[in-house]
Structure 1
């Protein structure tokens, strides 16, 4: 992490490190990739229905756009993958495709023990690791490899979707900023940019909003707004800020203004940006009380952020950040900062200002801090 006396850069660095602490780590990502590739192989080796069918499998949702967050108080991640079956949906009833996927998975000794059929997916429960929602999908037309129909076996209908298109839409918006505030700060410190600092402000802002959502609705998660609603609104209201904190504040404030100005009493529709016929917020029409929970959440997070901006002193800021985004991510971020301080100290690169603030000597004029020998020498 960066060691600086600039308060804005410190906040930026802490927010990025907290978001990283709550996301899917590389080790678990590799286990996820191995798991879904094995599922694809098992389906492709089916001697019956899938024997001559081309199958493509790929992650969708937060994994595909880099916004994963661990559910609050749990160790498992909720992750989605698409089983893109290269058959035309118009040639099949949706329940047939769904049932064939369930049948094949249940023929596997491991999958049949951990599978749980849902309305639009089959959930595989890898205890203590992740819940993998396997979403079957068929081609809509042969010349479009992004558009798919998902079988809703409960209602016996096809549902149009475009996960690859959504991924591209979101990433294109996130990439509107080429050099972030953190990347500039690392360059100013003349050190290599660390991986956690390379993620775009929109991605980090979405992670932070979801982290706050998970805590806010911890006791009643069924009332929480879905990740697709929060992610889509964040991308639509993102204005290309190079700073995580500025992006977060602008997004939350814009959503709040949108609600207060146009929809204070009734839900609004949220068309899928790559499939306008799909209302991503259709749950609010079926259960209007969920929209009221959403309004309360946005108002709460807006007021919390305003309080954080007005906080005085490190201790008050720390308590507010832990309350908003979780104590564990904050502690892990501070541990990473402590490691950076110790490393700088040992390398002779740590300085101290007259105010007592530790800084990077390569960037700010300061007195040197001697390495800690633990013997008072």
Structure 2
């Protein structure tokens, strides 16, 4: 089923960057442009232009408390004798001399950054226009390699927005926001935004203006069409291949990819395509919402009372167990012991399947836990799986290797699945079942709140490929 209203609500509430933050960005960019026009560079500046997600209208709300990124292209006349490095360092020098910007200025390879902490980071990119002896009219500055690189971001933006117009109703823009949301919140694949935009928009042709009623009549159908076409494109190409700028063939967009990353991306898009098809064709409303939640998480259709009947039949999650002897599962644990935990079902309706490609040879991973009166406070003791705890405590879960040492390598990340069960959590609509990031690295904090048997699992993800290379056993938390 399509769930048109729920898709629109989800996009507006969870995915789109709110208008207030966009206005703040626009206001600050206007101030920055005025500052640069009045500086010594004013005589060589030709104009400014937004680029990237800001220009393509695919900018989304960042996950957690992170700020979002925006790019500002500054077109300048060539300065005789200047190297690529001179443009970047010269621009940084302007900001360092300003009381307003000196404390927020940073440096990247092709741009200068202004970091408004917790709000956004703006990349100011010098673009040299018609440098003598050049072949291409527009060039950005690679200071590390000390060279000028051809670019044409404005023509690329025109190409992307033309593809959006072919399908109509901004369906391409909205679909790209959803796919970027999956990338940023699920962290199951990595792909630069410009590469992702190019791969998806390239699946649209001029003929699609005639097929809108079939393939793009509404947003959910458009999303399904585009994810299906992308999957077919990737399945036809098992090996990493060059993806170039459609308006500037010399520019290679997949320079940050390798075969492992590509294979993971290809496998995950195939999964998302399968799950999308299943959710779309499901005729039972409640089952369809559940399947869409597998893709987008618990926030999709939030507030819809679609699990009431499912929950009612599954609140005591123990197979073949005579629960009539006990008032609930907590009492069963206390009277019978931890053997009850082996009977707790994994296949509860609200438990999402792992959205990772799981490696055949896993790295050993387990969970250590301590209890605290408040988050980040002093610990009051260690916690074993299945130990009965009172409510209103905070538990610090830490994923550790077989040696008992936490995973601290920069190439590894730990994602956590948190599952609540039983009537208290069900009535509060807090059954969860989704995946959550570590914060800080390898650590997850949770609060004991709802009476019942609950659990967490740790999934070890290799950042370079997005593959799951280790999965812990379930760590049970029993709250009385």
Report the TM-score, using the length of structure 1 for normalisation.
Answer: 0.70
Q: Residues 114 and 314 from structure 1, CA distance in 2 versus in 1: closer, same or farther, beyond 3 angstroms?
A: farther
Q: Residues 291 and 305 from structure 1, CA distance in 2 versus in 1: closer, same or farther, beyond 3 angstroms?
A: same
1:300 and 2:271 equivalent?
A: yes
Question: Which has the larger share of strand?
Answer: 2
Deviations for 1:237-295, whole angstroms, at most 9, x for unmatched residues? 0353232223222222222222222x21x2111110111110111222xx332212211
Q: Choose the corresponding residue for 2:202, options 199, 215, 236.
A: 236
Q: Choose the corresponding residue for 1:14, options 2, 6, 21.
A: 6
1:67 and 2:37 equivalent?
A: no
Aligned residue pairs total 293
- The structural deviation recorded for 1:32 is 0.6
Larger of the two Rg values belongs to structure: 2
- 5+ residue gaps, structure 2: 209-215, 306-480
Distance (whole Å) between structure 1 residues aligned to residue 109 and residue 287 of structure 2: 46
- The structural deviation recorded for 1:235 is 0.9
Distance (whole Å) between structure 2 residues aligned to residue 73 and residue 319 of structure 1: 24
Do the aligned residues in 1 keep the contact of 2:52 with 2:194 (CA within 8 Å)? yes
Do the aligned residues in 1 keep the contact of 2:242 with 2:254 (CA within 8 Å)? yes
- 5+ residue gaps, structure 1: 1-6, 181-199, 336-377
Query: Which residue does 2:149 correspond to in 1?
Result: 159
Q: Residues 321 and 118 from structure 1, CA distance in 2 versus in 1: closer, same or farther, beyond 3 angstroms?
A: same
Distance (whole Å) between structure 2 residues aligned to residue 228 and residue 114 of structure 1: 26
1:279 and 2:252 equivalent?
A: yes
Q: Residues 201 and 55 from structure 1, CA distance in 2 versus in 1: closer, same or farther, beyond 3 angstroms?
A: same
Query: Which residue does 1:105 correspond to in 2?
Result: 95
Q: Choose the corresponding residue for 1:245, options 220, 227, 230.
A: 220
Q: Choose the corresponding residue for 2:280, options 302, 306, 309.
A: 309
Q: Which has the higher contact order (CA 8 A, sep 6+)?
A: 1
Question: Which has the larger share of helix?
Answer: 1
- The structural deviation recorded for 1:230 is 1.2
Distance (whole Å) between structure 2 residues aligned to residue 247 and residue 119 of structure 1: 37
Distance (whole Å) between structure 2 residues aligned to residue 39 and residue 111 of structure 1: 9
- The structural deviation recorded for 1:164 is 0.9
- The structural deviation recorded for 1:140 is 3.0
Deviates more, 1:57-66 or 1:89-98: 89-98
Distance (whole Å) between structure 1 residues aligned to residue 45 and residue 126 of structure 2: 13
Do the aligned residues in 2 keep the contact of 1:44 with 1:53 (CA within 8 Å)? no
Report the TM-score, using the length of structure 2 for normalisation.
Answer: 0.56
Distance (whole Å) between structure 2 residues aligned to residue 72 and residue 326 of structure 1: 13
Q: Residues 147 and 255 from structure 1, CA distance in 2 versus in 1: closer, same or farther, beyond 3 angstroms?
A: farther
Deviations for 1:47-98, whole angstroms, at most 9, x for unmatched residues? 4xx142234222111111211112322352121111222x137863100111
Q: Residues 318 and 165 from structure 1, CA distance in 2 versus in 1: closer, same or farther, beyond 3 angstroms?
A: same
